[in-house]
């Protein structure tokens, strides 16, 4: 029986969507051109107010790299391996330095392997780093989708700014905000008009709370996400579907289409799932969480873990919130997440997939 390899890369999909904010990241890692033996790394940082990098090679005095480029050279030829250590720190404009990142490089030339009667090996350069250096996959703020206007930021500040002022983290602020929006929007749940669907988020909000229009999950999601982004809480909308065919005559789908949301908490350095339509302030696997949306989907579709899921639910009647097992939630079915063939479309203004 032949062996078939199935390849996937977290950085090509999951990490591209669920990356956090790292102080030091790899932008590129390339072999030096020509006959030179070695590598060039280019670093990038999400440090607030980032200015430049400082680096030291083999305990030499620190040097400045404005563009993040650092070259590591090795002597070519010979049957011995060679090693170099680089220490890197990101520096902000006010002089604040991050913790040091230690990069260890090992060079193993072809002759090194031939000395052990191993043929056909190229020159090999290994890099190890502590803490781990991830490749840069973008900034969390890239997921805004719709850029808020100055007037919208002012509206959000006047409407909800005082509510979230005392909350210490992005997630705590988002929980206060989403509860307020549940109170405002759920009484106007229903099919929206064409005008509602074309309106900007806060116009949708005003139409709903005035009783002029109604809204469903998509309207709930875009209003919450836009309010978060206007208030400095990075958030994004995720559209979910199982559409198997579509024509002018008929669309065949499994389950309902749905729009859900995630916010990014800087303290956790993690995306967090929240959903007005499910009265959900978050989800946990036992005590672990809050979960992101991909984790929620994975665990909902694994029976043993599904039993351990707990949801942080807001009660519109008495304004309380509790963490409940799935069977005690007001909505006990999560059909929009059940099954492995759902498509998830993450809102991002500069992405074409």
98 and 208, same domain (yes or no): no
pLDDT at 173 over 80: yes
Q: Return the CATH number at 149.
A: 3.10.620
Classify 226 as helix, strand or coil: helix
Chain CA centroid to CA 170, Å: 14
**pTM for the full predicted model:** 0.89
The residue among 111, 138, 165 that closes a domain is: 138
Residue-range definition of the domain harbouring residue 60:
22-138
pLDDT at 353 over 60: no
**pLDDT given at position 1:** 65
Chain CA centroid to CA 43, Å: 20
Identify the DSSP state of 295: H
The predicted-structure confidence for 187-221, as pLDDT tens digits, reads as follows 999 999 999 999 999 999 999 999 999 999 999 99
**pLDDT given at position 116:** 87
Strand ranges inside the chain, DSSP E: 25-31, 37-44, 50-57, 63-65, 69-74, 82-92, 101-108, 124-130, 235-241, 243-246, 251-253, 258-265, 270-274, 280-285, 309-314, 321-325, 343-346
58 and 162, same domain (yes or no): no
Cα(99)–Cα(24) distance, rounded to whole angstroms?
10
Among the ranges given (73-77, 132-136, 154-158), the one the predictor scored with the smallest mean pLDDT: 73-77
121 and 146, same domain (yes or no): no
277 vs 247: which has the higher pLDDT = 277
Q: Is residue 5 situated within a structural domain?
A: no
198 and 316, same domain (yes or no): yes
The predicted-structure confidence for 282-294, as pLDDT tens digits, reads as follows 999 999 999 999 9
CA-nearest of 75, 72, 71 to 35 is 75
Q: Return the CATH number at 63.
A: 2.60.40.10
Which H or E run contains 177? helix 170-185
- Residue 303 CB coordination number (10 Å): 8
**pLDDT given at position 349:** 58
CA-nearest of 38, 25, 34 to 125 is 38
């Amino acid at each position: 029986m032949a062996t078939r390899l199935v390849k996937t890369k977290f950085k090509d999909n999951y990490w591209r969507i669920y990356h956090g904010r790292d102080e030091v990241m790899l932008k590129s890692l390339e072999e030096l051109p020509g006959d030179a033996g070695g590598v060039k790394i280019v670093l990038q940082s999400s440090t607030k107010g980032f200015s430049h990098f400082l680096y030291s090679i083999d305990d030499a005095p620190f040097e400045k790299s404005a563009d993040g480029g650092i070259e590591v050279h090795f002597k070519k030829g010979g049957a011995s391996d060679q090693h170099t250590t680089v220490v890197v720190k990101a520096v902000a404009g006010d002089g604040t330095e991050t913790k040091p990142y230690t990069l260890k490089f090992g060079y193993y030339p072809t002759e090194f392997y031939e000395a052990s009667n191993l043929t056909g090996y190229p020159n090999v350069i290994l890099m190890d780093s502590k803490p781990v250096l991830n490749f840069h996959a973008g900034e969390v703020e890239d997921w805004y989708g719709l850029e808020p206007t100055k007037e919208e930021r002012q509206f959000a500040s006047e409407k909800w700014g005082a509510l979230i002022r005392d909350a210490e983290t992005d997630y705590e602020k988002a929980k206060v905000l989403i509860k307020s929006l549940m109170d405002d929007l759920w009484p106007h749940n229903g099919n929206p008009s064409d005008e509602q669907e074309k309106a900007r988020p806060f116009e949708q909000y005003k139409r709903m709370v005035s009783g002029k229009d109604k809204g469903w999950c998509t309207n709930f999601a875009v209003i919450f996400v836009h309010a978060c982004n206007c208030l400095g809480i990075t958030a994004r909308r995720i559209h979910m579907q199982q559409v198997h065919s579509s024509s002018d005559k008929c669309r065949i789908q499994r389950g309902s289409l749905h729009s859900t949301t995630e916010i990014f908490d800087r303290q956790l350095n993690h995306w967090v799932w929240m959903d007005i339509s499910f009265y959900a302030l978050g989800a946990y696997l036992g005590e672990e969480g809050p979960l992101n949306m991909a984790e929620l989907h994975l665990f909902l579709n694994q029976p043993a873990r599904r039993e351990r899921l707990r949801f942080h639910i807001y009660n519109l009647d008495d304004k309380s919130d509790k963490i409940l097992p799935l069977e005690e939630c007001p909505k006990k079915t999560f059909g929009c997440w059940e099954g492995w063939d759902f498509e998830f479309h993450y809102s991002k203004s500069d992405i074409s997939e």
